[in-house]
Amino acid sequence: MTLINENFLKLQAGYLFPEIGKRRRAFQAANPNAKIISMGIGDVTQPLAPAVIDAMKKAVVEMGRKETFHGYDDDGVGYKFLREAIVENDFKARGADVDIDEIVVSDGAKCDTGNIQEVFGIDNIIAVTDPVYPVYVDTNVMAGRTGAAAGGRYSGIVYMPCIEKNNFVPELPEQKVDLIYLCFPNNPTGAVATKEQLAKWVDYAKKNKSIILFDAAYERFISQPEIPHSIYEIEGAKDVAIEFRSYSKTAGFTGVRCAFTVVPKQLKAYTKDGKAIDVNPIWKRRQCTKFNGVSYITQAGAAAIYSEAGKKQVQETIDIYMNNSSLIRKTLSEIGYKVYGGVNAPYIWLKTPEGVGSWDFFDKVLNEAHVVTTPGAGFGVAGEGYVRLTAFGLPENVKEALKRIAAMS
């Protein structure tokens, strides 16, 4: 008899997006002429930068010649040309000192943020924000680090509410936690953390020998110069933090797949008897055992993001999304909604009117404006009373959707 991994049975059904789809289809069936616009999509809509396409075409040609063909990427951690460009542009340019040996290139930040927990002991106490990117939670459930779910929360996880009162940046937990997942700029709230706020977390992690798992997938959307793009802009963070980056949202790579994770060489975790162990070689060991590297063509495309032309083109695309974002913020505030985020992130966190729940508001906007949003409650208990709007739509659709929302009763 084959036994199943019963931890998977604890997972709450992937409820949010199927339920949104179900309600959308039901509405469309009842209103076949309605032109539904989605402001719920977490995917990009603009094409890849021409510099990326050129680099990938060139790489394809190289793959077709014996002299320039590439097989397995020898180290499995990413080509040096890409890791060097990362070090120079993403870190040195911001005063953060990261070495190329600390970078491991991968096919996505979803996999990396999901897989990283494997290298840490099963008895670690994990802390997540509420609302949260579900990957952090579900992968720990699968691993067996939690009990059952009740009322939308798993026992064994420390949830840190991100609410209006704390500007959607969590307070330090009262109890001691070991692994702390933070995501700034945040999906879904669009909130950012200041250097001072992150410094408190770094300090906490040092005191408690904890590790911060910092998801910076949206750093390219930061517009305010004082907001840190990397946790390594905070003094001492290299002792206690792993950082995740992705080209998915920053350069439209959701369908190409390329990301990287930074595991500092000085970062330690401990054996039960207190011996300090370097995490960097353990993560590489894990990756090289279970993953054989990102394609040469993809890495060549990713490196082109850092060329002069690539930088300019990527910025133009980000500007399209952030213009959407400003327009969403401005229009919704003008008609009396309370909105958060959207300044340094492509997400707007809209507070639903008094007494109207996330799903009720979702239904109202779908029925009256024919616009799909994402109910905040789907990201956690503390997301109740909000909906998430994304700025990834086509500008003409965003304008039309806002016009319709403004005309709602």
Ligand X SMILES: *Cc1c(COP(=O)(O)O)cnc(C)c1O
Which residues contact ligand X (rule: CB under 6 A)? 108-110, 133, 183, 187, 215, 217, 246, 248-249, 254, 259
Radius of gyration of the chain (CA): 22
Distance of closest approach, residue 247 Cβ to ligand X, in angstroms = 7
Distance of closest approach, residue 278 Cβ to ligand X, in angstroms = 25
Distance of closest approach, residue 123 Cβ to ligand X, in angstroms = 26
Give 115 or 331: the residue with its C-beta nearer to ligand X.
115
Q: What are phi and psi of 257, to 5 degrees?
A: 80, 95
Distance of closest approach, residue 106 Cβ to ligand X, in angstroms = 8
Under DSSP, the state recorded for 360 is H
Q: Which residue has the tokens 């495309």?
A: 301
Give 49 or 259: the residue with its C-beta nearer to ligand X.
259
C-alpha to C-alpha distances, 15 to 18, 19, 23, 134, 358, nearest whole angstrom: 6, 6, 12, 11, 14
Distance of closest approach, residue 209 Cβ to ligand X, in angstroms = 26
Q: What angle do CA 192, 197, 202 make, to 5 degrees?
A: 115
Residue type at position 164: E
Give 213 or 371: the residue with its C-beta nearer to ligand X.
213
Are residues 24 and 371 in contact, defined by beta-carbon separation less than 8 angstroms? no
Give 300 or 369: the residue with its C-beta nearer to ligand X.
300
Give 102 or 112: the residue with its C-beta nearer to ligand X.
112
Closest among 160, 155, 161, 162 to 140, alpha carbons compared: 155
Are residues 82 and 75 in contact, defined by beta-carbon separation less than 8 angstroms? no
Distance of closest approach, residue 44 Cβ to ligand X, in angstroms = 9
Are residues 222 and 250 in contact, defined by beta-carbon separation less than 8 angstroms? no
The neighbouring-strand residues paired with 390 are 347
Give 283 or 405: the residue with its C-beta nearer to ligand X.
283
Distance of closest approach, residue 221 Cβ to ligand X, in angstroms = 11
Helix, coil or strand: residue 236: coil
Give 146 or 261: the residue with its C-beta nearer to ligand X.
261
